[in-house]
Structure 1
Amino acid sequence: MARAMRALRIWQELGLCLMLGMALGGCSTYVNAPDVSGAAAARTPQGLDYQVLPDQLFTPGDWPQPLSADVYLPDTAGDAMRPAVMMVHGGGWEGRSKEDMTPIAKRFARHGYVVINVSYRFAPEFRFPAQLHDLQLARHWIDAHAAEWRIDPGRIAGLGYSSGAHLVSLLALVAGTDSPLDRPYGGADTGFAAVVSGGTPADLRLWDSGRLLIQLLGGTKEELPGAYASASPVTHVHAGAPPFFLFHGTWDDLVPPEHARVLFTALQSHGVHVELYWMRWRGHITAFLLRGDAEDAALDFLAREMPPG
């Protein structure tokens, strides 16, 4: 019954967004939008062919679980180094797969980005910060292959949705800091030049302690207040953080819009460039399914923040 009700809500949101969009001329509000939105993406390659290297193992033999990534290599001319995007899927830290990000990976590859679409371990079998450690390994692995894949090490971005956005944001914010989360697998070179983060669980303390958080962190918010704070990206914001592009559904009842607001405010208060793309009349799932306008804006953002050297 719960699945049926959620499916009905999704279809209702889809229909309402389409109708309201046609009536009112759009389903988005762009906070801190650039003056030339759209121009940057138009100057990046589009429609490129690409090669896919599927299921490339990036973990060592003694890692608790073998993990792989799909690597997309665009067919760009010449020997110029290229920008890259590491993508991380959602799923409540307990499921789904990198295949969820495949359509996004294909689109970014056609725009000339090398895409590394990664997997990670799931709770409750593996508790946090196991998932972050997996991404830190993947980030080192990308650097190890940068020359082979013609990746510009200074133009590597992170992109995630939902729990994937949580992990990408944490990875970007703790890299090279004195946070215990940056040890023993992190380091300054596990950061990003820019971050695209959608439906982001930014402050785990904003929720009551539901099943997903209990199995991720090993207890309730009352039992483990320090763990909930430490696992929240908003508590790791600092002045040296990379620029962020946030997108979020205004009808999101799984990750309420307050998460985007607090992260946007924290980044701004530390002088970090941040853009917030509100997707009106969309919930958590429909913001992902109807993400085309947010992808356009994200491509603009990355083209501006990671221009060729």
Structure 2
Amino acid sequence: MRFSFSLILLLICGVTPAQAAENTYTAENTLAKYSDDYPFISIASINAPASVLAHKDIAYVSDGERRLHLDLYRPAETSGSPTPGVILVHGGGWQAGYRTHLTPIAIKLAEAGIAAATISYRLAPEALYPAAIYDTKAALRWMRANAGQYHINPEQLAVAGSSAGGQIASLTGVTNGLEEFDPQAATSKVSSDAQLIINIDGLSDFTSEKARKYEDAPRDKPSSAVLWLGGHYAQQTERWHEASPIYYVNQATPPILFLASGRTRFYVGRDEMIRRLNQHGIPSKVVTFSNTPHSFWLFDPWMQPAASAIAAFIKEQFAAKI
């Protein structure tokens, strides 16, 4: 049923299933696109050192025969206190990408004493908004339910993402406790709440004039946002509003770290969201990687400082002695 509904919306938008299903957002293709302007970069390694334990291809949620999987990376040394945990959501315009895109960051976080899980989630056209939010909350719930097994502190969980994954992570975190974004909440005693949010170059407001300039402009092929939200702004105004993290800021919103590239279009709404966070006394921080392309986190020399900024924020906010 979900797929049929998604397919109908895609056909209305003028996109064939074959076009929508292409998943060409890989580190290799992105490197080829960036290599002329950034000849010094290289794809960050996905090989874990001996100090990191890797638990791969774990099913974290299922819907009938459909299962979603994650890879968990954690410190090999487990003699101290349980570690903070973080769910990592890859980007790709809500319709592409792979969880291995954030494996290098997950490994570096594990080296820093933080358990990190990279997740696969349902992409368009299989499922449109808000399915990815459901999946990310399910991943948080899985991590909390299995925290003891993996030496994780269930009260210290963060959600992080890059690009479209940054928007997904933000919306997941700012909607803590809202059952309309969490179908499992009615039947589970385990919370899906996140205590921190990390948004790497992801939109905070689909409805702003600048966002709509890029995401809602007339063109031959609809934008990724139009596809994921099921129509243009005029057709799906309520959805564009609902999917914007900025509208959920309140006194209970978790602290947020924003990592930014040199491409301002990808973090539209951030400054206004920070203003609203400040009104409620919610901590936030911005770390900017100037003169970088959008997908900077995939590559050295930028991946390591990005991971370090995330680890520092998590430790600072949780005051973890690790």
TM interval, shorter chain, is: 0.7 to 0.9
Give the one of 185, 188, 191 matched to 1:189.
191
Q: What is the CA–CA distance in structure 1 between the aligned matches of 2:280 and 2:60, rounded to whole Å? A: 34
Over 3 Å counting, the alpha-carbon distance change for 1:12 and 1:203 in structure 2 is farther
Q: Distance in 1 between matches of 2:119 and 2:270?
A: 24
Task: Give the partner amino acid of 1:227.
Answer: R
In 2, Cα distance between equivalents of 1:98 and 1:157: 17
What's the offset of the Cα at 1:288?
Answer: 4.8
Deviation sequence 1:32-78 (CA, Å, 0-9, x none): xxxxxxxxxxxxxxx87122111001113526x31100011311242
Partners of 2:224 and 2:124 lie apart in 1 by 8
Q: Structure 1 pair 128/70, CA: closer, same or farther in 2 (3 Å)?
A: same
Aligned to 2:248: 236
Identity %: 22
After superposition, the Cα gap between the structure-2 partners of 1:232 and 1:61, relative to the gap in structure 1 and judged at 3 Å, is closer
* Contact 1:74-1:109 at 8 Å conserved across structures: yes
1:53 equivalent in alignment to 2:55 = yes
Give 3-state SS (helix, strand or coil) of 2:269's partner: helix
Shift in Å at residue 181 of structure 1? 2.5
Note if 1:306 corresponds to 2:307. Answer: no
> In structure 2, how many angstroms separate the alpha carbons of the residues matched to 1:149 and 1:77?
9
Q: Give the unaligned 5+ runs of structure 2.
A: 1-24, 42-48, 217-221
Aligned counterparts of 2:298 and 2:259: Cα–Cα separation in 1: 10
Pick from 225, 239, 263 the counterpart of residue 213 of structure 1: 225
TM-score normalised by structure 2 residue count: 0.76
Asked if 1:249 is matched to 2:254, the reply is no
User: For residues 103 and 40 of structure 2, what CA distance do their matches in structure 1 show?
Assistant: 27
Aligned partner letter, 2:283: H
1:220-250 Cα distance to aligned partner (Å, 9 max, x none): 1011111100011111111111111101113
RMSD: 2.7
Asked if 1 retains the 8 angstrom alpha-carbon contact of 2:102 and 2:298, the reply is no
Change in CA separation of 1:12 and 1:260 when aligned onto 2, cut-off 3 Å: farther
Give the aligned partner of residue 81 of structure 2: 80
Cα pair 1:249 1:281 within 8 Å, conserved: yes
With the length of structure 1 as denominator, give the TM-score of the two structures: 0.79
Q: How is 1:218-297 mapped onto 2 (pairs within 5 angstroms)?
A: 218-253=230-265, 255=266, 257-286=267-296, 288-289=298-299, 290-297=302-309
For the residue of structure 2 that corresponds to 1:131, the secondary structure is helix
Measure how far apart 1:287 and its partner are: 5.7
Counterpart of 1:124 in structure 2 is 125
**Residue identity matched to 2:180:** P
* CA distance 1:100–1:271, shift in 2 (3 Å): same
Contact 1:172–1:190, Cα closer than 8 Å, also in 2: no
What does 1:92-103 correspond to in 2, within 5 Å?
Answer: 92-103=93-104
**Code of the aligned partner of 2:144:** D
